[in-house]
Structure 1
Amino acid sequence: MPVILRYQGFKLFFYSNEGNPLEPAHIHVRSPDGEAKFWLVPDVQLARNDGFDARTLKNLATVVATNKELLERAWNDYFG
């Protein structure tokens, strides 16, 4: 579970085994309050949410979009 970024108590990461066939690039965001998954391509989009309220999701979507290039590069480097 490579953690790519930490932000205000949130971990942004992906799982080492993302399925076969491999899913498109995405990032998981976890805190003690819940976990969400965001697609990175073609645009940042919420894939699922378990526990975060709308305000938190909006903030997280902004963080993911702001760091999209870093997150995609980490994904591509890892899964190559």
Structure 2
Amino acid sequence: MQILGLIAVGLVIGALARLIQPGRQRMSILATMLLGVVGAVIGGLIADWLDVGSITELNFWGFVFALLAAVLLVGIAEGVTAGRNRAVR
């Protein structure tokens, strides 16, 4: 059940990260979900490390850190894929 919750939270965080990131992103819903899940895990770890939350619970600071991590990941993913797309054309 926790895996389904992590996927749902990852999808929401990934979608919000894509909305915050300026410009058009050309990535699939699966890539959005995966980046959101990774961002959620990183955000939970940062909140746990700073002792303001836990990776196993959804709280404000964990959500903020997860969203920031996901925005950075979306930007990195777009930079990598944009560079690859320019080289092919």
Q: Under a length normalisation based on structure 2, what TM-score does the superposition of the two structures give?
A: 0.28
Answer 1 or 2: higher relative contact order, Cα 8 Å, separation at least 6: 2
If you compute each CA radius of gyration, which structure gives the higher value, 1 or 2? 2
Q: TM-score, normalised by structure 1?
A: 0.29
Higher helix fraction (1 or 2)? 2
